[in-house]
């Protein structure tokens, strides 16, 4: 595979080598969906299900196996949905050891809702998987336990090899149908890794849960700081492959790439605008690190900052009307914000001796900005500034150096790097700092960026 | 290819540093310029073979008066056993230290002796800053060294700058001395 890629690079002069799952763009790899006939439901039933004083609870028994050849895929589905739902931190999951009390729910007509109620379940998920004509077919039903009715049902039909992907889609559907939450279980993360050695860093992609890690670039150079296009179909990143760091773009499902900005000094720290039309970046083309904005193809470049200090690390607000960035104009790196004309400059961070890598929460509910903050002379920790309360809260606490935070598309989680295990690895956590999960363990992995929720056609 | 050379360069440099070869090769430099480089205080029982020893011309500081020193060697050999010292910096600073000036003065002198040589001035940072900001800081360090050399009369056309941020530490350690070695402007000979 690698030799093929190298030949591809040499022969075609193609800038970007893609090693992505090709079957994702073939119809055979698609997971088809079909809603199951369902009982009439009382509209926003999930609004009424919450009981005062405790979180809504959910029971997710292991998926039933319809045909014996679906045993392995069914086990994967059960595990992945459980993990996804646990990480989502929306529902309190009823421990599986209690389920035997409620009996075997295989037959819908025999679901003993009173027993499920007795172990505290508000919502019951029932699923059955089988193999039909070499395809994995899973039916999922959501029951409101108190109402004793099915409120949602869907049939999923996909390749046997796509069990994890099907599971992520099922979890996102459950979150949407049972609570109107926008899940992130089908998202991907992009990051830079030195796992190939040879003093190189390549851009990698992985599922949000750390599975399926794959290289996007293979040019044995230094490739850093990927940023996603909002449609999830492209990444911009910097590469030293021609010597000077320049800004490139890779269309990950089309196997092509192009150069966005090169020449005129160094170009680095790209950030794609929320509407996909613009890219902000840092360039030294005018003799000093300043922030520029151009069209996504590099055209129509204009300069936003005019200061002799270092200005870098631009981050777009979710409206696309403001850009946060780092400047050492007061002597030490601090976070600032300006509008996209470079006006209305204001300082955001006042605590910490060194603040960088701002990332604006995409959440509609919270107006927050994360960044890495060096408090005193210690390591970096991830902090969040709340624009409403004007308060800053610290999410990580001094275990290794914690950097490069970026938000999940729903604003409920963050990905970041930490050296808490000795090397730079990628972790997730919730926006309150809880629920940490380590995703990478090998070599050094840096500058993670959380990709958007994919459209249904991907 | 370039990365393999870089590894060779780094490993050769660390070998020579490890056995005190650096200080032996640079007896003429002013002591102030060497303050950031940890000199070997113990002598290793058997000195590992370094590029400097296999090349009969490499072990001399008389590079200035010995043109063969570079013209008889490939760029890779020159860079693996460079006559040019790294320029030190303080944390989160691109301000030239007093100890940096003798190093840069000597670099300029050397460049005047070899008037066809071109250099890439690399800015490097220690691991304690962030990835993004260190790219900018490294650029500023490289530019500080570049500006000083230009002020001494070195034509700008002979110098280029680049920043590697904190991506290529010279010393992979996590100590004050490792960080000090990693905050540097480094010179690579790109043509002669």
Q: d(Cα A49, Cα A372) in Å, to the nearest integer?
A: 39
Please measure the distance between the N-terminal and C-terminal CA atoms of chain B and give it in whole angstroms: 19
pLDDT tops 70 at residue B67: no
- Work out how many CB contacts closer than 8 A connect A with B: 85
Please say which residue of A146, A179, A212 terminates a domain: A179
**CB within 8 Å: B132 and A289:** no
Whether residues A159 and A42 share a domain: the answer is yes
Above 60 in pLDDT, residue A416? yes
Q: Look at residue A7 and tell me if it is in a domain.
A: no
* B129 with A332: Cβ contact below 8 A: no
Question: How many percent of chain A have pLDDT more than 70?
Answer: 88
Same domain, A147 and A97: yes
pLDDT recorded at residue A30:
85
Give the range of the structural domain holding residue A148, as residue numbers without chain letter: 31-179
Of B127, B129, B135, the CB nearest to A354: B129
Ordered by where they begin, the domains of chain B are 2-191 (3.30.1330.60)
Instruction: Name the band, by pLDDT with cuts 50, 70 and 90, for residue B105.
Output: very high
Domain count, chain A: 2
Q: Give the gap in angstroms from C-alpha A45 to the nearest C-alpha of chain B.
A: 47
Q: B131 to chain A: which residues are within 8 Å by CB?
A: 224-225, 357, 403-404, 446-447
Which chain A residue has the Cα nearest residue B170? Answer: A199
CATH of the domain at A115: 3.40.50.10070
- pLDDT score recorded for residue B35: 37
Cβ contacts of A310 on chain B, cutoff 8 Å = 133, 136-137, 140
The pLDDT of residue A41: 52
* Residues of chain B above pLDDT 70, percent: 64
Confirm whether the ipTM is greater than 0.85.
Answer: no
The Cα B85–Cα B18 span in angstroms is: 15
Q: A248: buried, middle or exposed (CB in 10 Å: 19+, 13-18, 0-12)?
A: buried
* Same structural domain, A84 and A204: no
Length of chain A as a residue count: 458
CA separation (Å) from A308 to A244, A266, A282, A301, A330? 22, 16, 14, 20, 11
- How much is the average pLDDT of A226-236? 97
Pairing between β-strand A57-59 and β-strand A92-93 as defined by DSSP bridges: parallel
pLDDT tens string B16-48: 443 333 333 333 333 333 333 333 333 333 333
Q: Are the Cβ atoms of A224 and B136 closer than 8 angstroms?
A: no
> Are the C-beta atoms of A100 and A85 separated by less than 8 Å?
no
Last residue of some domain: A179, A214, A239? A179
> How far is the alpha carbon of B127 from chain A, nearest alpha carbon, in Å?
10
What's the confidence (pLDDT) of residue A199? Answer: 84
Q: Nearest CB to B135: which of A198, A269, A379?
A: A269
Residue A218 lies in a domain: yes
CA-CA-CA-CA torsion sign (B131, B136, B138, B141): negative
Q: How many other C-beta atoms are found inside a 10 Å radius of the C-beta of residue A90?
A: 18
Whether B131 has its CB under 8 Å from any CB of chain A: the answer is yes
**Same domain as A208, residue A156:** no
* Statement to judge: residues A60 and A145 lie in one domain: yes
Q: Is the pLDDT of residue A319 over 70?
A: yes
Report pTM. 0.83
At A206 the three-state DSSP class reads strand
Interface of B with A in 85-114 (CB under 8 A): 92
pLDDT tens digits, one per residue of A164-189: 999 999 999 999 988 889 999 999 99
Q: From A373, which residue of chain B is nearest by alpha-carbon distance?
A: B130
d(CA A279, CA A301): 9
Shortest distance, CA B180 to any CA of chain A (angstroms) = 15
- Residue B23: strand, helix, or coil: helix
């Amino acid at each position: 595979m690698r030799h093929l890629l190298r030949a591809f690079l040499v022969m075609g002069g193609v800038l970007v080598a893609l090693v992505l799952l090709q079957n994702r763009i073939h119809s055979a790899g698609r997971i088809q969906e079909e809603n199951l006939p369902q009982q009439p439901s009382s509209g926003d039933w999930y609004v009424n299900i919450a009981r005062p004083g405790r979180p809504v609870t959910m029971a997710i028994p292991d998926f039933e196996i319809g045909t014996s050849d679906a045993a392995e895929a069914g086990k994967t589905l059960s595990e992945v949905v459980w993990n996804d739902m646990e990480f989502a931190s929306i529902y309190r999951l009823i421990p599986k050891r209690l389920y035997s009390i409620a009996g075997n729910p295989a037959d819908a007509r025999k679901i003993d809702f009173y027993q499920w109620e007795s172990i505290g379940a508000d919502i019951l998920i029932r699923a059955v998987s089988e193999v039909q004509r070499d395809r994995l077919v899973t039916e999922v039903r959501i029951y409101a336990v108190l109402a004793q009715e099915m409120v949602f049902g869907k049939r999923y039909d996909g390749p046997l090899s796509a069990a994890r992907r099907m599971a992520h889609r099922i979890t996102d559907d459950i979150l949407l149908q049972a609570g109107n939450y926008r899940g992130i279980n089908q998202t991907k993360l992009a990051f830079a890794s030195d796992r190939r050695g040879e003093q190189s860093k390549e851009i990698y992609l992985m599922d949000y849960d750390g599975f399926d890690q794959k290289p996007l670039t293979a040019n044995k150079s230094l490739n850093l700081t990927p940023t996603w296009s909002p449609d999830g179909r492209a990444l911009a990143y910097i590469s030293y492959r021609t010597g000077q760091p320049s800004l490139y773009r890779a269309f990950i499902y089309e196997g092509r790439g192009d150069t966005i900005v090169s020449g005129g000094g160094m170009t680095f720290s790209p950030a794609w605008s929320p509407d996909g039309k613009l890219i902000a970046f840092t360039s030294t083309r005018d003799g000093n690190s300043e922030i520029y904005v151009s069209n996504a193809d590099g055209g129509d470049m204009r300069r936003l900052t005019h200061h002799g200090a270092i200005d870098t690390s631009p981050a777009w607000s979710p409206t696309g009307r403001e850009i946060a960035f780092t400047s050492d104009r007061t002597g030490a790196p601090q976070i600032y914000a300006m509008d996209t004309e470079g006006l209305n400059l204001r300082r955001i961070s006042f605590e910490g001796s060194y603040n960088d890598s701002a990332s604006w929460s995409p959440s509609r509910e919270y107006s927050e900005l994360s960044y890495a903050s060096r408090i005193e002379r210690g390591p970096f920790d991830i902090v969040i500034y709340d624009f409403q309360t004007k308060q800053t809260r610290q999410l990580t606490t001094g275990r290794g150096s914690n950097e490069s935070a970026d938000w999940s598309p729903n604003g409920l989680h963050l990905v970041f790097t930490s050296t808490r295990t000795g090397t730079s690895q990628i972790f997730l956590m919730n926006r309150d700092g809880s629920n940490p999960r380590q995703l990478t363990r090998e070599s050094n992995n840096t500058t993670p960026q959380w990709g958007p929720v994919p459209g249904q056609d991907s | 290819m370039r990365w393999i050379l870089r590894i060779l360069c780094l490993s050769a440099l660390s070998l020579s540093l490890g056995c005190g070869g650096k200080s032996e090769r640079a007896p003429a430099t002013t002591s102030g310029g060497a303050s950031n480089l940890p000199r070997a205080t113990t002598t290793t029982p058997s000195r590992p073979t370094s590029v400097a020893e296999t090349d009969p011309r490499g072990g001399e500081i008389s590079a200035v008066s010995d043109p063969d020193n570079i013209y008889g060697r490939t760029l890779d050999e020159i860079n693996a056993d460079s006559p040019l010292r790294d320029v030190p910096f303080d944390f989160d600073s691109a301000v030239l230290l007093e100890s940096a000036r003798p190093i840069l003065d000597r670099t300029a002198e050397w460049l005047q002796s070899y008037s066809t040589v071109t250099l890439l001035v690399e800015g490097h940072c220690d691991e304690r800053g962030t990835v993004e900001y260190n790219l900018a800081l490294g650029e500023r360090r490289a530019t500080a060294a570049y500006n000083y050399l230009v002020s001494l009369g070195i034509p700008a056309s002979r110098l280029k700058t680049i920043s590697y941020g904190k991506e290529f530490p010279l010393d992979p350690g996590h100590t004050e001395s490792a960080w000090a070695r990693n905050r540097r402007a480094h010179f690579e000979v790109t043509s002669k």
